Chain A
Amino acid sequence: MIYDVIIIGAGVVGCAVARELSRSKGAMLVIERSEDVCTGTSKANSAIIHSGYDAENGTWKAKLNVRGNRMMDTLSKELSIPFFRIGSLTVCTQEERLGELEQLRERGERNGVEGLSVLSRDEALRIEPHLADDVVGALYAPTAGIVCPFRMTAAFAENAAENGVEFRFGEEVQHIARDGELWRIETDREVYHTRAVVNAAGVYADVLNNMVSSHQLCITPRRGDYLLLDTTVEGYVTHTVFQLPTTMGKGVLVSPTVHGNTIVGPTAFETDDREQTATTEEGIAQVILKQSNSIKDLPIGQVITSFSGLRASEQGHDFVLGEPDDAPGFFNCAGIESPGLSASPAIAEMIAQQIREKYTLKEKQDFIAQQRDIVHMKPLSYEEQAKKIAQNPAYGVIVCRCAGVTEGEIIDAIRAPLGARTLDGIKRRTGSQMGRCQGGFCTPKIMDIMTRELGIGMEDIRKNGPGSHLVTARTKGGDE
């Protein structure tokens, strides 16, 4: 069969494009090399929806960040994406540089960011009491927000799937070439033909682009380490607090997450290894050192996990979007580094529009915009929780005690369209295993549920990709 569109990569951009395109008729396919959506850059970042003041006027980053931010209210409602517009503060610690906050405000206003204001130290302290003693002023951006990047990506993907987009996981694209009017895509398993290709391959987007275009791209992954603090720290910091970059480098941010944790990071280490997501001692030490520049006495000892992610940084320092002139029908979504998560809805809107126009894809009359309701018990009132348990007793069984995730929510995550098949898949969709004990208590219980729901053995259960099995064999004398 011939596809109308094949999207390569099931990160937030690929899934957002898939969802936008699923408004139109046509045969569409997403190919993802790992076992699930949201396993690369989309899963390991600051989980921030930036306001959009930071990027230079006229860049894709500026334009699409601001647009993406505005789209989040509707999207979060339609797709049950946890999103809170908590506002950001960019703090300055040097009196002589206060003018730069003013310049950033002006730049932001030219970018179309609303509500920006420069606050004195006292004004900033009134809304964020634990700012460091050195802070002399701050740029306040009330439209900035925090989001669950996992749910956001999964929601785009699930909704796209419900609207007819196919997904293939565990399949890696190896060659792309022109084949007459079409593109021929060869993976490690199959050969596909399609009219249009969307390149949303994250840190590998340059590799794909360079297969088809003479306008060569060069992505240098930049690793960022993060620390995540326990929910016991919740409320210590209530805005996303950035640091004004200094000659010593870009500082780290301190921000609440939608799960009630506090995130601190990232570092920035360039690497030539596109798989290098290991944290380092140096990186963790840097995060711990730098956070004190913006926040006073942050309980950094309450760390429950550290992780690192790769930014797909392209040498032009802007997103690379749309068709190269020598590869019509090949749509790049490349160089998606910060503010890529924030811009992803707008990137998708624009790319989908280009594809619709070029191939005159017709609007689907039966498009389902509304995501099914996803039950999250913990934020509900006790009365609401009681109602849910009455409907489905599995919502009354807490499996993950730290994050308050119930058996019902875990079963939902498995049974959903593109449902979870791995422990990490369940983690990202439900928030289980992410709390202070990091899965210590709930992992065996979730494994039991997986064997039941998926009809697989304990030995078949994986953390994520192939080879990531949890148990190796039965104990001596165990039943075969």
Chain B
Amino acid sequence: MKQVDIIIVGGGPAGLSAAIAAKEAGCDSILILERDGELGGILNQCIHNGFGLHTFHEELTGPEYADRYIERARALSIDYRLNTMVMDISPERVVTAMNRSDGMFSIQAKAIILAMGCRERPRGALNIPGYRPAGIFSAGTAQRLVNIEGYMPGRQVVILGSGDIGLIMARRMTLEGATVKLVAELMPYSGGLKRNIVQCLDDFDIPLRLSHTVVNIEGKERVEAVTIAAVGADRKPIPGTEERYTCDTLLLSCGLIPENELSKSAGVSLSGVTGGPLVNEHFETDVKGIFACGNVLHVHDLVDYVSEEAQHAGQAAARYVQGELDATGAVVALRAQGGVRYTVPSTLCVDRMDDTLTVRFRVGDVYRDSYVSVYLDDRRISHRKKRIMAPGEMEQIVLKKAELAQMPSLRTVTVCIEKE
């Protein structure tokens, strides 16, 4: 069987950044397996700008951002195969994949980096009643049709869900001459970034109706109208609040789900909250030698953070292959409490960690004038006030090795939101 040091599953922003980092860390034998026809992943259809502010300190479009990494990967002669679907990953790190020219093949890897990204939640998973006509698209599918294929999915649009892709598509469809009648959001807050609400909805006078959902879809062949209704605190529609909107298109932007079918086949344990693998401070899963980064790990709102996280995962995988990532020292659990839904990573080892560790998390509700607190066991070491925190925006704290090392018996690091 062919042998490779590191196989990276997915050639999107996470996979590319991980590959480059691993190569720069001295690992020569790297192979990226990408299911699509080109590298860059979902960035290729994200032709709007706003990418790279943190990484490159300039505003790039998605394809431009991807191109910086693709160029770097080419310059480093990183090997990749396109149109190649990974079918299975074994816990022993045998990757089985197939494509047109090589047929079905298996490769033994010393380390694997999972970077498969995520998918959109479909209409069926939302239990929206009504007919099942043409004209119902997830926002990302519509984005591909418009930006890659060059076709309009419709002219009169209602959007359910205020995830970032839905917000971006509200603007995109408007610029292409369609009428976006409204964005309805089940929750009392948006699932997207504030900047997207301002730039994609407010600037185009598209109403955002919080605490609303779609309760009926009309049209047997093509969407003819949808009915929305207000929902109560139980998220159930309130009778009598129905409003009917004629439209030919319903776009859905109701959440992203990490694509971890392969992770499961490898025996990787997943978080019940994020749907992504549970990882330690080096983005290593609970299966030795298998790492994860990007949206397959947890859904990000900024690609810059994906790249940064994946860089760390790539470096760690290289160190693992070089035998420098030995498991020593006690494992400390990271606990998400008091409004914090999860943390990535979910464990750390003080001996192995770098000088600092960025811990990313999301909150479960909108918090105003609240504090992000960090406890080492029961000792609070940080208490930082934030004017506003919302589920649509990822938050982070930074842990310092020097500080953690002062507590040799440390068992738990807790991240929580506190009112005062």
Could you tell me the distance between the alpha carbons of A281 and B242 in the complex, rounded to whole angstroms?
14
B329 located at the interface, meaning its Cβ lies under 8 Å from any Cβ of chain A in the complex: no
- Say yes or no: is A316 at the interface (Cβ < 8 Å to chain B): no
Query: Whole-angstrom distance between the alpha carbons of A304 and B119 in the complex?
Result: 13
Q: Please provide the chain A residues from 270 to 316 with a CB less than 8 Å away from any CB of chain B in the complex.
A: 275, 277-281, 283-284, 303-307
Number of interface residues of B (CB under 8 A): 51
With a cutoff of 8 Å between Cβ atoms, the chain B residues found around residue A386 in the complex are 98, 103-104
Given contacts A389-B104, A475-B176, contact A303 B127 (CB under 8 A): yes
A271 to B123 CA separation, bound complex (whole angstroms): 25
Cβ of B87 within 8 Å of any chain A Cβ, yes or no, is yes
When the two chains form their complex, are residues B83 and A397 in contact, meaning their CB atoms are under 8 A apart? Answer: yes
Q: Are A478 and B151 in contact (CB under 8 A)?
A: yes
Instruction: Tell me the smallest distance from the CB of A227 to a CB of chain B, in Å.
Output: 8
Query: In the complex the two chains form, is A385's CB within 8 Å of B98's CB?
Result: yes
How close is A358's CB to chain B, nearest CB, in angstroms? 39
Given contacts A279-B129, A466-B221, contact A474 B150 (CB under 8 A): yes
Most chain B beta carbons < 10 A, residue from A307, A390, A441, A478:
A441
Which segment, of A80-88, A203-211, A359-367, A456-464, faces chain B?
A456-464
B125→A474 contact, CB < 8 A: no
* CB of A17, distance to nearest CB on chain B (Å): 27
Instruction: Given A396-B103, A397-B100, decide whether A436 and B152 contact each other with a Cβ distance below 8 A.
Output: no
- Determine if A228 and B124 form an interchain contact, defined as CB atoms under 8 angstroms apart: yes
A464 touches B120 (CB 8 A): no
| Pick from B129, B217, B220: contact of A284, CB under 8 Å | B129
- The distance in angstroms between the C-alpha atoms of A307 and B149, with both chains bound, is 29
Residues of A within 8 A of B83 (CB): 397
Contacts of A58 in B (CB 8 A): none
Docked complex Cα distance between A459 and B99 (Å): 30
Chain B, 96-130, contact with A by CB distance < 8 Å: what is the 0/1 string?
A: 10111111101000000000000110111101011
Q: Which residues of chain B are near A471, meaning CB under 8 Å?
A: 145, 149, 151-154
Number of interface residues of A (CB under 8 A): 57
User: B104 to A396, Cβ gap below 8 A?
Assistant: yes
> Could you tell me the dominant secondary structure of chain A's interface residues?
mixed
Instruction: Return A262 CB to nearest CB of chain B, in Å.
Output: 13
Given known A275-B220, A440-B141, A463-B133, contact A305–B124 (CB-CB < 8 A): yes
The answer to whether B129 and A303 have CB atoms under 8 Å apart is: no
The 8 Å CB contact of B122, one of A304, A382, A467, is A304
Residues B213-246 near A (CB distance < 8 A) = 215-217, 220-222, 237
Q: Is the pair A468, B133 in contact by a Cβ cutoff of 8 Å?
A: yes
Q: Per DSSP, are chain B's interface residues mostly helix, strand or loop, or mixed?
A: mixed
Knowing A382-B87, A471-B152, say if A438 contacts B103 (CB, 8 Å): no
The verdict on A468 contacting B134 (CB below 8 Å), with A397-B99, A474-B151 known, is yes
Residue of B nearest to A440 (CB): B138
Give chain A nearest CB distance to B369 CB in angstroms: 35
The answer, yes or no, to whether B35 is at the interface (CB within 8 Å) is yes
As a 0/1 sequence over residues 436 to 480 of chain A, the CB contacts with chain B under 8 angstroms (1 = contact) are 111111011001100000000011001111111111111110110
Q: A275-B220, A398-B35, A475-B176 are in contact. Are A444 and B149 (CB under 8 A)?
A: yes
Chain B neighbourhood of A440, CB < 8 A: 119-120, 122, 138, 140-141
A467 touches B222 (CB 8 A): yes
Nearest residue (CB) in B for A389 is B103
**How many angstroms from the CA of A401 to the CA of B148 in the assembled complex?**
19
Specify the chain B residue showing the minimal Cβ separation from A462.
B134
- Interface assignment of B302: CB less than 8 Å from any CB of chain A: no
Check B146 for interface membership: any CB of A closer than 8 A. yes
Q: When chains A and B are docked, how far (Å) is the Cα of A303 from the Cα of B140?
A: 20
CB pair B127–A284 under 8 Å, yes or no, is yes
Q: Is A394 within 8 A of B100, CB to CB? A: yes
Q: How far is the CB of A289 from chain B (nearest CB, A)?
A: 13
Chain B residues contacting A99 (CB-CB under 8 Å) are: none
Tell me the bound Cα distance from A303 to B155 in angstroms: 30
Shortest beta-carbon distance from A426 to chain B in Å: 14
User: Are B119 and A306 in touch, CB under 8 angstroms?
Assistant: no
CA distance A275 to B218 in the complex (A): 12
* Nearest CB in chain B: distance from A353 CB, A: 37
Chain A CB within 8 A of B288 CB? no
Within 8 Å of chain A (Cβ to Cβ): is B394? no
**How far apart sit A303 and B121, CA to CA, in the bound complex (Å)?**
11
Q: Is the CB of B130 within 8 A of A470?
A: no
Taking CB atoms, residues of chain B closer than 8 Å to A467 are 221-222
Q: Report the bound CA distance from A464 to B42 in whole Å.
A: 28
Complex interface: chain B residues within 8 A of A129 (CB):
none
B177 sits at the interface (CB 8 A): yes
Select which of A283, A390, A397, A470 is within 8 A of B134 by beta carbon: A470
Contact of B100 among A303, A389, A438 (CB under 8 A): A389
| A278-B131, A397-B99, A465-B221 given; A472·B104 CB < 8 A | no
Closest residue on chain A to residue B133 by CB atoms: A468
Q: For the complex, is A393 an interface residue (Cβ under 8 Å from B)?
A: yes
B69-82 CB mask vs A (1 if < 8 Å, else 0) is 00000000000000
**Bound form: Cα–Cα A90–B217 in Å:** 35
Instruction: Output the nearest chain B residue to A301 by Cβ-Cβ distance.
Output: B125
Q: How far is the CA of A228 from the CA of B102 in the complex (A)?
A: 35
A444 to B99, CA, bound (A): 19
Interface assignment of B411: CB less than 8 Å from any CB of chain A: no
A305:B151 contact, CB within 8 angstroms: no
When chains A and B are docked, how far (Å) is the Cα of A396 from the Cα of B151? 28
Bound CA span A314–B35, Å:
51
Flag if B104 contacts A436 (CB, 8 Å): no
Closest to B150 in A: A478
Among residues of B, the one whose C-beta sits closest to the C-beta of A476 is B176
Residue on A with the closest CB to B259? A401
**B385 interfacial contact with A, CB 8 Å:** no
Instruction: Give the distance in Å from the alpha carbon of A190 to the alpha carbon of B101 in the complex.
Output: 49
> How far, in angstroms, from A398 to B119 measured CA to CA in the complex?
16
Minimum C-beta distance from B36 to chain A (A): 9
Q: How far is the CA of A280 from the CA of B101 in the complex (A)?
A: 47
The reply to whether A459 and B131 form a contact with Cβ atoms under 8 Å apart is: no
- Closest B residue to A479 using CB positions: B150
Closest chain B residue to A437 by CB distance? B119
How distant is A266 from chain B, measured CB to nearest CB, in Å?
Answer: 15
User: What does the 1/0 interface line of A385-412 toward B look like (CB < 8 Å)?
Assistant: 1100110011011100100100000000
Instruction: Tell whether B144 is near chain A: CB-to-CB under 8 Å.
Output: yes
- The CA of A65 and the CA of B141, in the complex, are separated in Å by 43
Closest 8 CB pairs of A and B: A305-B124, A438-B122, A463-B134, A471-B151, A467-B221, A386-B104, A468-B221, A398-B85
5 example contacts (A-B, Cβ-Cβ < 8 A) are as follows A284-B127, A438-B122, A444-B145, A467-B221, A475-B150
Point out residues on B near A: beta carbons under 8 Å.
35, 83, 85, 87, 96, 98-104, 106, 119-120, 122-125, 127, 129-134, 137-138, 140-141, 144-146, 148-155, 176-177, 215-217, 220-222, 237, 248
- A→B interface (CB under 8 Å): 227-228, 275, 277-281, 283-284, 303-307, 382-383, 385-386, 389-390, 393-394, 396-398, 401, 404, 436-441, 443-444, 447-448, 458-459, 462-476, 478-479
Seed contacts A438-B124, A444-B148; 20 additional CB < 8 Å A-B pairs: A281-B237, A283-B129, A304-B122, A305-B124, A386-B98, A386-B104, A396-B99, A398-B85, A437-B119, A439-B122, A440-B120, A440-B122, A440-B140, A458-B151, A470-B145, A471-B149, A471-B153, A472-B248, A473-B151, A475-B150
